[in-house]
Amino acid sequence: MIHNRFSQLDESSPLGSAVSTNRRNFLKLLGGAGAGLTLAMSAQPVLSKTTEQLPLTSAEGELEANAFVRISADSTVTVVIKHLEMGQGTYTGLATLVAEELDADWAQIKSEGAPANTGRYKNLHWGSQGTGGSSAIANSYEQMRLAGATARKMLVQAAAQQWQVAESEIAVSQGVVSHPGSNRSTSFGELVDQAAKLPMPATDSVQLKDPGDFKLIGRSVPRKDRGKTDGSALFTQDIKLPGMLTALVAHPPRFGATVKSVNSEAARNIAGVEDVVEIPTGVAVLAKDYWAAKKGRDALQIQWDESQAFNKSSDQLLNEFAQLAKQPGLVARNDGDTESALGSAAKVVEATFEFPFLAHAAMEPMNCVALVSDEGCEVWNGEQMQTLDQATIAATLGLKPEQVKINMLFAGGSFGRRANPHSDYVMETVHIAKAKPGIPVKLVWSREDDTRAGYYRPMYLHKVRAALDTDGNPVAWEQRIVGQSIVTGTPFEGFLIKDGIDATSVEGAATLPYSIPNLKVDLHTVNLPVPVQWWRSVGHTHTGFSTEVMIDELARAAGKDPVAFRLALLKDHPREYGVLKLAAEKANWGAPLPQGWGRGIAMHKSFNSYVAQVAEVSLQDNGQFKVERVICAVDCGVAINPDVIRAQMEGGIGFGLSPALMSEITFKDGQVVQSNFHDYQVLRIGQMPDVEVHIVPSAEPPTGVGEPGVPPIAPAVANALSAVTGQRFHRLPLKLS
């Protein structure tokens, strides 16, 4: 089915016209869905053309209705998914939108990953092709429905022509096209040849369904990313091409170190090793298989020049951050007069929060396959940043971006890692492949590489001072944030850095929803050679914790119930108010708990979705604690697939529990201390609480669920621990004292 899709990368091809829509429609869509703070980039037209062109039909009699929908003679509907499937369910969610408007039967739908082609498959929130910021559903909601609706119209027109009846008399339901008046009906497949002769309908000639008529949206239809229970699903790690070599790279022991000299003789003597090549990021060993490459890498003798290398330790960094936090930073938000309000307040609560570096540690360590040849470059990857990777590869190889073909595979997790704004591991692969033209090269990172070669959630320190008046109402909040910028030095700078402030450093704090008259958030951006990157929910991973722990401490200082205290401050924020109230109700907030148990709540909005979680913890005899149960409420607008939403909340909670309970990357004299899952520990089954998810019914435009489940869990657990121990918790991972 892939036919020659990858060679048709010309944006001006008729296939590229896809679902055309006009600028007004797009702006409406953007305004309605709201562009996520993170990664909300440029407002460009959905697809530039409104011309009505003849769609192509392949030799087998397939209808290519538009860039997103193909229908074959056997009635299979293939939906082309422009976003990376990394477990979040996008193969299911986007296909549901098409199937709904097409009135297809869910069983006839098949999802397929899109190739890199910015013109056809850009993320409408970014203006470039890529996946992130929990934007897949939000940016595609109207586009994918239009794709389904226009394809449906072609089938209706074809049936009307065939039966010589009016289009208005044709009905479509569950994959059957019928003319009730004459009792005739047919399948999609039967209409493919006729429909393929028709021009693509203008988008204003179709009407999207009224939400009341939805049959698939809102239902937990089965997932479409299959092959995950029998080993048949294909990941980058599974690609094998004729003549392919496997490459492992020896990376420098410290960031900033470079190769001084290499003795590769012993490595080259190992059976199966084919070559050793020096690349900008280290020394690559190419071999017939992984094990030979690994042995070859172990046998390399490399002298590193560490004169310019990073040589600090985590403790030292934290001290430096704390020093910086004594001085005012660049102001991200400033309401009222925080300084004088703090000076005259009845009670001031202060805390310094510390967050370590974190590795993404996706189950599939980073990897990529590339073939550099005379014709260009072909890549196989769980690809999350098509436009950027294509451009970076093209610039390095002296190609045009369209000479870089990218084949899409499933990703074995990513959590942001595969959307590297510097194209790091992709470029590492291309540099190796460039040295071996005509030979496909698979780069495989070991778990040690994945843990030590970087791109971390940055280390952060927050200093918060907040104050109450004599009635226990919050009157002032001052939050100072210190940490590295993710966006500086990337192509995202223009969109995400304003007046020196990286929006991803302060999101969630500068947007604090609680009504506090005097509120100030400022930022110190630190420059370090440690490579950093977005990590599932980005800035919210730390701001969600500091703000929600602090608001709890304020409630306690005021002698008020944490839920009632928050609700009183959210009168103007109905959706935050709604999830908080729902979570508290479902958790039976206030009901007695067993001895040694504590209950805590946290609420955080991220990527335009609202999540509140109540955690119940129990103290264990061994001085440890256990997270027993989590009750989660989520408002993500129209719930496309409730079960996928539940799964993302469960997964977000489990993912957020790792940094809450055990994960941290630390530096000792510039070296990463951790290397594999024994010392970079992550949540295991025995530590997973029971999770209950409640979805707020909503008619608002749908927003993402991949990330928003993460931020509230750590503060909810910390607040529960405070409730039962009286201790305060300002550092992750959490430790009882």
Partner 1 sequence: MSVTLNVNGVDFQIDAAPDTPLLWVIRDHVELTGTKFGCGMSLCGACTVHLDGQPIRSCTTPLSVVLGKAVTTIEGVQSSAAKAVQQAWTELEVPQCGYCQSGQIMSAAALLEANPKPDDAQIDAAMAGNVCRCATYGRIRQAIKQASEQLS
Of 609, 503, 583, 700, the residue nearest 40 (C-alpha): 503
Q: Report which residue type is found at 398.
A: G
CA gap 262, 192 in Å, rounded: 61
Give the largest CA-CA distance in the chain. Answer: 84
Which 17-76 residues touch partner 1, going by CB under 8 A? none
The single residue among 104, 136, 358, 444 that binds partner 1, judged by CB under 8 A, is 444
At residue 617, φ and ψ (nearest 5 deg) are -120, 155
CA gap 737, 695 in Å, rounded: 36
* Stretch near partner 1 under the rule CB under 8 A, chosen from 411-419, 487-495, 516-524, 619-627: 411-419
Minimum CB–partner distance for residue 148 and partner 1 (Å): 23
**DSSP annotation of 588:** T
Strands 460-468 and 474-484: antiparallel
How remote is the C-alpha of 397 from its chain's centroid?
29
Which 211-240 residues touch partner 1, going by CB under 8 A? 222-223, 225, 227-235, 237-238, 240
The single residue among 340, 624, 677, 727 that binds partner 1, judged by CB under 8 A, is 677
Residues near ligand FES (CB under 6 A) are 87, 363, 413
Which 160-219 residues touch partner 1, going by CB under 8 A? none
Q: Which does 24 bind (CB under 5 to 8 A by kind): ligand FES, partner 1, none?
A: none
- Which DSSP string do the residues of 171-197 spell out, in sequence order? EEETTEEEEGGGTEEEEHHHHHHHHHT
The single residue among 683, 696, 716, 718 that binds partner 1, judged by CB under 8 A, is 683
Minimum CB–partner distance for residue 291 and ligand FES (Å): 13
For partner 1, the closer of residues 297 and 462 by Cβ is: 297
For partner 1, the closer of residues 184 and 294 by Cβ is: 294
Which 467-506 residues touch partner 1, going by CB under 8 A? none
Report whether 477 contacts 520 (CB < 8 A).
Answer: yes
Minimum CB–partner distance for residue 363 and ligand FES (Å): 4
For ligand FES, the closer of residues 202 and 688 by Cβ is: 688
For ligand FES, the closer of residues 175 and 413 by Cβ is: 413
For helices 713-725 and 540-557, the axis angle rounded to 10 degrees is 30
Q: Which does 142 bind (CB under 5 to 8 A by kind): partner 1, ligand FES, none?
A: none
**By CB under 8 A, is residue 676 in contact with partner 1?**
yes
Token pair listed for 120: 């056809």
For partner 1, the closer of residues 534 and 577 by Cβ is: 534
Token pair listed for 338: 């925080």
Strands 258-263 and 301-305: antiparallel
Which 684-713 residues touch partner 1, going by CB under 8 A? 684-686, 688, 690-691
Q: Which does 312 bind (CB under 5 to 8 A by kind): ligand FES, partner 1, none?
A: none
SS3 per-residue string spanning 642-701: HHHHHHHHHHHHHHHHHHHHCCCECEECCEECCCCCCCCCCCCHHHCCEEEEEECCCCCC
The single residue among 72, 88, 139, 525 that binds partner 1, judged by CB under 8 A, is 88
Q: Report the SS3 class of residue 421.
A: coil
Helices then strands, counting H and E runs in the chain, come out as: 20, 30
Minimum CB–partner distance for residue 604 and partner 1 (Å): 18
Minimum CB–partner distance for residue 606 and partner 1 (Å): 18
Q: Which does 691 bind (CB under 5 to 8 A by kind): ligand FES, partner 1, none?
A: partner 1
Minimum CB–partner distance for residue 716 and ligand FES (Å): 23
**By CB under 8 A, is residue 242 in contact with partner 1?**
no
Token pair listed for 410: 């499933």
